[in-house]
Amino acid sequence: MAAALVAMTGAWLWLAGAGLLHPHAAPTTLRGFVAAVVMWQTMMVAMMTPTVAPWVLAYARLAEGSSRGARLAPWATFAAGYFTIWLAYSLVAAAVQMAVSANGVVGHDGPPRVLAGGVLIAAGAFQFAPIRQACLTHCRNPLSYLLARWRGGPPGPFRLGLGHGAYCVGCCWLLMLTGFAMGVMNLAWMTLLTLVVAVEQSAPAGVGVGRAFGAGLMVWGLALCLPA
């Protein structure tokens, strides 16, 4: 999985160079919107590659020997489908970022404390939501999904990647939006989220870790909502 390591390393290095100076940078023009989409998608590649890597490995093992004559290896097509879903998410996130910036909700110093607290409370509460738990159950069981949904032919890997990506977005979309509260380009916060999501989706005690993190987010959010 050298390609995954290279992609993830490159994404983190780009974010380190682009985000340290302006953690709350917001798009105000079409060019800024495109830059924001690129930023969000790079964040998704950096943060979700450790999580999707076991899925790509599982798919590569199942598809071994089926890629003769194909222009693109099935595992790469699967990964492309997965990150296409995250590209759709990045477009929406950049649009939201542009809207709140245009309305003066979020300035260069970040959002008001109450708004930041509200985002953290919502993200923490969502950690316990049944629909989120259903998506997490899917994300923790790659072989069950791949064997049940396996389809032959060139479109098969891409469709499987799209399907898995939809579950993954359903599991993590609100956690990723906490970037609005903590700084969209806050590398320390991004690193923490990357670790939490990876542990939650792969470790034996991951479900408990995710719920504990959710409880912590709610407590932190409540503290931010209290008068300073």
Task: Identify the bridge partners of residue 110 per DSSP, sorted by sequence position.
Answer: 107
53-62 contacts: CB < 8 A, separation 24 or more? 53/1, 53/4, 54/142, 54/202, 55/82, 55/142, 55/146, 55/164, 56/1, 56/4, 57/1, 58/142, 58/143, 58/146, 59/142, 59/146, 59/157, 59/160, 62/146, 62/147, 62/150
Residue 71 has pLDDT above 70, yes or no: no
Residue 1 has pLDDT above 60, yes or no: no
Residue 16 has pLDDT above 70, yes or no: no
R_g (Cα) of the chain, nearest Å? 18
Which residues neighbour 32 within 8 Å (Cβ) at sequence distance 6 or greater? 26, 98
Specify the higher pLDDT residue, 73 or 131. Answer: 131
Query: What residues make up the domain containing 148?
Result: 2-225
pLDDT tens, 122-152?
Answer: 999 999 999 999 999 999 999 889 888 887 6
Residue 70 has pLDDT above 60, yes or no: no
Which residues neighbour 29 within 8 Å (Cβ) at sequence distance 6 or greater? none
Give the pLDDT mean for 50-78. 78
Specify the higher pLDDT residue, 16 or 135. Answer: 135
Token representation of residue 211? 């719920």
Contact 104, 185 (CB under 8 A): no
Residue 21 has pLDDT above 60, yes or no: no
Residue 207 has pLDDT above 90, yes or no: yes
Specify the higher pLDDT residue, 198 or 20. Answer: 198
pLDDT tens, 79-117?
Answer: 999 999 999 999 999 998 888 877 766 656 667 888 899
Which candidate, 116, 171, 145, places its Cα nearest to that of 54?
Answer: 145
Mean pLDDT of the chain: 84
Specify the higher pLDDT residue, 25 or 205. Answer: 205
Q: Look at residue 143 in the predicted model and tell me its pLDDT.
A: 85
Specify the higher pLDDT residue, 13 or 71. Answer: 13
Q: How many domains does the chain have?
A: 1
Give the pLDDT mean for 18-42. 72
In which band, very low, low, confident or very high, does the pLDDT at 2 lie, cut at 50, 70 and 90?
A: low
Q: pTM for this one?
A: 0.87
